[in-house]
């Protein structure tokens, strides 16, 4: 079975665009077959972005892990004028994200990376809508691995559905971070984690 995180060079392309408006800025995202939430912006990702835009969090650099076509990193980058690095294991998603960075004129870069494999810098903010379908091991690798890539005082924000194990993941994260549930909506939890 194909997943949105597998690389399949034979997968046909049916490029489409998704428009999204926030704070009077209109964004356009190229999307395609074989990537997560290909026809619409995911509700959990929107919730995560809304939480950060409402927060008093100050950040100049952000890392979006499992960026897909780049929704979270691109919107936050544009509306907060921060620079962003976006990584995904799915080559097609990274290619779309590169196009979307150009299209939406943000300061950012998208690269292929299995979790943090190709990430060498540190960031003020790490954001992720983690790939639950890739399994808990990968999800925890992404969430717990964030520690090594955060600047002092930096923080991690993630969005996870309650019925996809948000509470057990929160329990695990609490062993490494000071955690807070920032929002709960339609079964999605947004969790903020800071190094304890």
The one among 31, 45, 61, 84 contacting ligand SAM by CB under 6 A: 45
Question: Closest approach of Cβ 33 to ligand SAM, in Å?
Answer: 13
Distances (CA, A) of 95 to 47, 67, 89, 147: 25, 11, 11, 27
Question: Closest approach of Cβ 68 to ligand SAM, in Å?
Answer: 3
Token representation of residue 173: 């994260």
Asked if 94 contacts 110 with a C-beta cutoff of 8 angstroms, the reply is yes
Verify binding: residue 34, ligand SAM, rule CB under 6 A: no
Name residue, tokens 């709960």: 184
How far is residue 176's CA from residue 195's CA, in Å, rounded to a whole number? 7
The one among 115, 146, 155, 156 contacting ligand SAM by CB under 6 A: 115
145-164 residues in contact with ligand SAM (CB under 6 A) are: none
Counted residue by residue, the chain has a size of 196
Verify binding: residue 77, ligand SAM, rule CB under 6 A: no
Handedness of CA 42, 15, 97, 104 (dihedral sign): negative
The one among 88, 110, 166, 179 contacting ligand SAM by CB under 6 A: 88
Verify binding: residue 138, ligand SAM, rule CB under 6 A: yes
When the beta carbons of 4 and 157 are compared against ligand SAM, the nearer one is: 4
Name residue, tokens 């717990």: 144
Verify binding: residue 108, ligand SAM, rule CB under 6 A: no
The one among 96, 125, 134, 146 contacting ligand SAM by CB under 6 A: 134
How far is residue 196's CA from residue 188's CA, in Å, rounded to a whole number? 24
Verify binding: residue 36, ligand SAM, rule CB under 6 A: yes
Distance of CA 15 to the CA centre of its chain: 21
Q: Would you tell me which residues interact with ligand SAM (CB under 6 A)?
A: 4-5, 36-37, 42, 45, 66-68, 71-72, 87-90, 93, 114-115, 129, 131, 134, 138
């Amino acid at each position: 079975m194909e997943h949105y995180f597998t690389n399949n060079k034979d997968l046909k392309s049916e490029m489409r665009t998704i428009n999204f408006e926030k704070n009077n800025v209109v964004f356009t995202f190229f999307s395609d077959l074989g990537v997560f939430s290909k026809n619409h912006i995911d509700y959990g990702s929107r919730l995560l972005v809304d939480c950060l835009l409402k927060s008093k969090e100050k950040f100049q650099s952000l890392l979006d892990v499992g960026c897909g076509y780049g929704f979270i990193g691109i919107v936050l980058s544009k509306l907060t004028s921060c620079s962003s690095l976006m990584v995904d294991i799915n080559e097609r998603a990274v290619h779309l994200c590169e196009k979307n960075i150009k299209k939406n004129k943000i300061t950012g870069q998208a690269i292929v990376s299995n979790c943090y494999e190709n990430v060498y810098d540190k960031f003020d903010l790490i954001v992720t809508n983690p790939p639950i379908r890739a399994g808990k091991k990968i999800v925890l690798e992404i969430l717990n691995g964030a520690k090594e890539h955060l600047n002092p005082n930096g923080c991690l924000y993630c969005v996870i559905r309650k019925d996809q194990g948000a509470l057990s993941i929160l329990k695990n994260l609490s062993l490494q971070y000071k955690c807070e549930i920032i929002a709960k909506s339609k079964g999605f939890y947004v969790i903020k984690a800071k190094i304890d």
